[in-house]
């Protein structure tokens, strides 16, 4: 399969917005692969003591996972549960800046479509989540970053099956119009 023909869907957004659930759902619906969020594995034993080097390591891990799973994509689609843009958002927030290797790669790597998960879901505590009071701030940051990339995206709202249906409708709409 020609990897250049594969459409890459990125499911992104603030913490506790259903990204993993939506990404897995879409991969199942389109019978393809879901690239998991590398940071979930990496951060398990860090006890929230992140360093800039940790963020760079997560950047490399996310890119490696995507490269490794791309050949397994089916039906010309790859669903990504987050992207390296997440690393930029966290680097800027935690350290005030993002390493050039990350920002350069963000400009280079393209996704065909982004689903930005809305903050209308209730917060669910998780040992790897940090900022329940800053969801509006991070939603604004995500919009700003996606707009700066000139990214094609939709904001996905709703709870339960409604959110899943809205994500599926957004993908079907974009594909049917091209």
Q: What per-residue confidence (pLDDT) applies to 61?
A: 95
- Helices 100-108 and 85-95, interaxial angle, to 10°? 150
Residue 3: per-residue pLDDT: 62
Q: Per this entry, what is the length of the chain?
A: 178
For residue 113, the surrounding DSSP H or E stretch is: strand 113-117
pLDDT digits (tens, 9 = 90+) for 125-174: 665 556 667 789 999 999 999 999 999 999 999 998 999 999 999 999 88
Model pLDDT, residue 101 = 95
pLDDT digits over 10-44, tens only? Answer: 999 998 899 999 999 999 999 999 999 998 888 77
């Amino acid at each position: 399969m020609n990897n250049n023909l594969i459409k890459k869907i990125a499911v992104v957004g603030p913490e506790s917005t259903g990204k993993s659930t939506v990404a897995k759902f879409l991969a199942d619906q389109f019978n393809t692969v879901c690239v998991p969020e590398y940071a979930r594995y990496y951060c398990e034993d860090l006890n929230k003591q992140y360093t800039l080097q940790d963020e760079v390591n997560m950047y490399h891990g996310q890119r490696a996972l995507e490269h490794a799973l791309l050949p397994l994509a089916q039906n010309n689609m790859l669903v990504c549960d987050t992207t390296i843009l997440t690393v930029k958002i966290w680097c800027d927030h935690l350290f005030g800046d993002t390493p050039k290797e990350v920002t350069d790669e963000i400009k280079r790597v393209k996704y065909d479509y982004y689903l930005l998960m809305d903050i209308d879901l209730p917060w669910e505590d998780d040992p790897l989540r940090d900022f329940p009071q800053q969801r509006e701030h991070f939603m604004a940051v995500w919009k700003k970053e996606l707009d700066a990339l000139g990214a094609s995206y939709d904001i996905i709202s709703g709870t339960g099956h409604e959110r899943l249906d809205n994500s599926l409708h957004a993908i079907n709409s974009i594909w049917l119009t091209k």
